[in-house]
């Protein structure tokens, strides 16, 4: 079984995001970048399935500028077999990403696609669902447990009432949640080996996909600084403040 995993290069989660002076986006120049944490979980899960003998090959795909090779090399160091980079200097929105990934799926014919549930830069949480819709595949989102058995995927997902388990006929798509696994650290020997693993580049034009943004960002602003809270002596005072000061009731 071949597994395809999509990964995205984002601002590292330890870095404080700063808005550009002209308010047209966030500052990425000279900022540490890394693999989206949810995608790292997806890569780890695919590698574990390979280690169990369930998967025979793990292919990782990223969409972005040429420097996005670094997150693909990280995925290869974790245990993926080969990588594909779809180069584009455009801002890739979820629908365009889903169309590009569909074109890759059509070429690679995997039996399972695993993606992170969302990217921590735009928090859209759309690409996986859109890709499943374009492929006409069953989908299991926000997976906290994944089992593959006899041509089916059992996906356990967290819902408001507890846990839900869905059974998907392969091929299928799964998006990962935080509790699915804990990604391993790439060891130095594996980082060195990753340099020799194949990484193929292609463009959106070669895949026949128009990635022109359909949505326009008007303005990006930092959230207003929150004021410190206060303690109130009674429920009556609290209600009075909510009604007369905050004017929320």
Dump pLDDT digits (tens) for 102-129: 999 999 999 999 999 999 998 999 999 9
How far lies 159's CA from each of 37, 74, 141, in Å? Answer: 21, 31, 11
Rounded CA gap, 130 and 128, in Å?
5
76 in a structural domain: yes
Q: Determine if the peptide bond prior to 171 is cis (ω within 30°).
A: yes
Tell me phi and psi for residue 222, to 5 degrees: -75, 145
Residue 49, pLDDT score? 97
**Is residue 84 domain-resident?**
yes
Q: What is the dihedral of CA 213, 218, 222, 224, to 10 degrees?
A: -140
CA distance 115 to 166: 17
pLDDT digits (tens, 9 = 90+) for 71-82: 999 999 999 999
User: Residue 223 maps to which CATH number?
Assistant: 3.40.50.620
Measuring CA to CA, which residue among 106, 232, 233 is closest to residue 246? 232
Identify the domain containing residue 133 by its residue range: 2-244
Please count the structural domains in the chain. 1
What's this model's pTM, rounded to 2 decimal places? 0.86
- Phi first, then psi, for residue 128 (nearest 5°) are -60, -45
Q: pLDDT category, 198, cuts 50, 70, 90?
A: very high
- Quickly state the pLDDT bin for 224 (edges 50, 70, 90): confident
Q: Which has the minimum average pLDDT: 153-157, 191-195, 214-218?
A: 214-218
Answer yes or no: is 249 within a domain: no
The residues with which 82 forms a beta bridge, in sequence order, are 59
Specify which residues 62 forms β-bridges with: 7, 85
Instruction: Supply the pLDDT for residue 23.
Output: 87
User: Around Cβ 102, how many Cβ atoms within 10 Å?
Assistant: 19
Instruction: Answer yes or no: is 201 within a domain.
Output: yes
Q: How far apart are CA 179 and CA 158, in angstroms?
A: 10
More confident residue, 222 or 138: 138
At 90 the pLDDT is: 83
Average model confidence (pLDDT) across the chain? 93
Which residues are CB-contacts of 46 (< 8 A; sequence separation ≥ 6)?
3, 5, 55, 58, 80, 112, 114
């Amino acid at each position: 079984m071949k597994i395809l995993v999509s990964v995205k290069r984002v601002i590292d989660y330890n870095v404080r995001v700063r808005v550009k002076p002209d308010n047209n986006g966030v500052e990425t120049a000279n900022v540490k970048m890394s693999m989206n944490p949810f995608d790292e979980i997806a890569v780890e899960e695919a590698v574990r399935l390979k280690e169990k003998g369930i998967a025979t090959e793990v292919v990782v795909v990223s969409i972005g500028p040429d420097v996005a090779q670094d997150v693909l090399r990280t995925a290869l160091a974790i245990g993926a077999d080969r990588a594909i980079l779809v180069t584009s200097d455009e801002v890739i929105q979820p629908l365009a990403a889903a169309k590009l990934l569909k074109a890759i799926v059509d070429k690679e014919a995997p039996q399972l696609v695993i993606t992170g549930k969302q990217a921590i830069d735009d928090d859209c949480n759309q690409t996986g669902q859109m890709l499943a819709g374009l492929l006409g595949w069953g989908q299991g989102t926000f997976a906290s447990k994944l089992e593959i058995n006899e041509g089916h995927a059992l996906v356990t997902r967290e819902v408001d009432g507890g846990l839900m388990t869905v059974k998907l006929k392969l091929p299928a798509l799964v998006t990962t949640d935080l509790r699915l696994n804990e990604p391993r650290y790439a060891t130095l020997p594996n980082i060195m080996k990753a340099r020799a693993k194949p990484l193929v580049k292609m463009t959106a034009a070669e895949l026949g996909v128009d990635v022109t943004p359909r949505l326009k960002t008007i303005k990006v602003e930092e959230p207003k600084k929150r004021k410190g809270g206060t303690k109130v002596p009674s429920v009556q005072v609290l209600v009075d403040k909510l009604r007369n000061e905050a004017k929320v009731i």
